[in-house]
Structure formats: structure tokens, C-alpha cells
Chains A and B, each alone.
Chain A
Amino acid sequence: MNFMTEALAQAAFWVVVGLTLAGAVIAVFPRNIVYNVLGLVLALTGVAGLYVFLGSMFIGLMQLLIYVGAVCVAIVFAIMLSRPLHLEVPERRLPKVLMASIASFIFMVAIIGVNLRTAWKPAVERSTDWSVVTIGELLLTRYDLVFEVISLILLVAILGAIVTAGFSRRLSS
């Protein structure tokens, strides 16, 4: 029975990893932008699953809420409001694609090589406190300045988005 659960968990893990990578591939390669957004949704959902496997249900739910719920919907809005979808997309030029592929492949291989060649050592003393209560307490005590700064950044971002999108409309019409 225990072996069964173990195998099932392992299978679920690889399914989640596969979904994430497939979503990332769909998000980058097709030339139709709607496919890209749907691939991004798939990849972000897979990443939320990875967070659950990493033991943090809270961050997984936040990932679903913020990324899939807010960012992806905002991107869909931008697609709807910007270019009409029936227009032809220009072909990609081969040299650019080739150079970009080589550059990012070298970067990826370098990162993976560093990962595999490093002997990672865990910290000597590790607390096992994962709870949301601790996160909330740290946010309001030790990290309160960062918390306030990120609130300010979000406020400025909202104002900036309104000003950028709204003023240009007034100017052009």
C-alpha cells in the first residue's frame, strides 16, 4: 500500500513537471499569441503544483491566484485591446532565431552544469516551521519595511498604468 502511494506520488510529480515544461514550450514557440497565453497558463499551473510538492500549499494557491488569475487575464485583455488576431504575423528570421537559441542554450547548459557540479550542503540547524502563521508574523515584524515598500510599488504601478494607458488615449483622440 505504501509502495503504491509512493509510486503514485512519483508519477504525479513527473506529470506536473511535464505539464510545466510543455506549457513553457507552448508559451514560447507558436506564433499565435493566444496559444502563448494558454501555454503560459499551463506552465504557471504546473509551477503551482511544484510548489505543492515543495511543501508549501500557501504559495501554490498564491501562484494560482496572482499569476493564473490576475496576470494571465491581464495579458488576455492586452491581446484583445491591441493587435487584431486575423492579421498575418511576419515570419521569423532564421539567423535571429538561431542566435537566440544558441545563446539561451549555452546559458541553460551553464546553469544546469553548475547545479549538478555543486555539492549542496543544507544548513546545520533547520527549523521546520512552514506555517502561514510564521510567514505572516515575519512579514509584520522582521520584513515589515519590505512589505511596505512592495505595497508602495504596487500603488505606483497602478497609478502609472492608469496614467500611461489613459493619457495616451486622451492625446491621440
Chain B
Amino acid sequence: MNTLSTYLIVAAILFGLGLLGVLQRRNLVGMLISIELMLNGANINFMAFNRFLAPEPAVGQIITLFVMGLAAAEAAIGLSIILALFRKLRSINVERAQQMRG
């Protein structure tokens, strides 16, 4: 059970579901949720390699902490952009946000 490939497969499934969400959803909040899922898949990969392969087990945990901090910053910026967009368009559907379309 507790092998490297189990964790890698779980991480790959999380990443795939997140990718599916980013590609198919039109609700911006839903896309943000899917991006969080993808970041978590990457984090599981870091932690699994850290546990089973890496020479120094502290480094993977530090990388995971940094990714968490970046995800928090990304969520804050993304949510404020969503709020600004909603005030402007009265909608958070990405297909309506095409004023800058070329």
C-alpha cells in the first residue's frame, strides 16, 4: 500500500481531474477550485519523492510549504479579480469576459 507508485497515481488522478475542471468549466470560481486540485497533485508528488527517494527529507517539505504559500497568494489575487469582474459584468462566466478579445 505505502509505495511510491500509489502516491504518484493518486497525484496524477488529482492533477487530471483538476485539468478536466479547468478545461470544461466556465464558472471562474470553479476553475480556481480545479487549479487548487492541480497544485495539490503536484504537492503530493513532491512529498512522495521526498519520502521515498530524496537524499534530504527536509527539502521536499520546504518546497511543499512554498507551493502552499504561492497557492494562497494565487487564491487571494484570483478571488479579487473574480469580484472585480463580477462588479463589472454581473456574471463570472468566463465566456462573457471577452472585451479584450482580438
Contact = CB atoms under 8 A, between A and B. Distances in A.
**Which of A54, A90, A125 has most B Cβ within 10 Å?**
A54
Given A59-B47, A122-B53, A153-B70, A107 B87 contact: no
Contacts of A58: 61
A1 interface: no
A5 interface: no
Contacts of B16: 104-105, 107-108, 111
Interface residues of B, number: 73
Contacts of A83: 27, 86, 91-92
B50 to A, nearest CB: 8
A55 B55 CA distance: 15
A170 B20 CA distance: 36
Contacts of A36: 29-30, 33
Given A125-B55, A130-B58, A96 B92 contact: no
A55 B2 CA distance: 11
B38 to A, nearest CB: 10
B20 A101 contact: yes
A134 B65 CA distance: 14
A2 interface: no
Interface in A119-173: 120-130, 134-135, 138-139, 143, 146, 150, 153-154, 156-158, 160-162, 164-165, 168-169, 172
7 contacts: A28-B25, A37-B33, A43-B14, A47-B40, A56-B61, A78-B29, A81-B86
Given A13-B2, A33-B30, A164-B77, 10 more contacts: A10-B1, A20-B10, A50-B44, A54-B51, A56-B51, A59-B65, A67-B40, A107-B15, A129-B56, A162-B80
Interface of B: 1-2, 4-10, 12-21, 23-27, 29-30, 32-34, 36-37, 40, 43-44, 47-48, 50-59, 61-62, 64-66, 68-77, 79-84, 86-88, 91-93
Give 4 nearest A-B pairs by CB, closest first. Answer: A108-B16, A100-B23, A157-B73, A123-B55
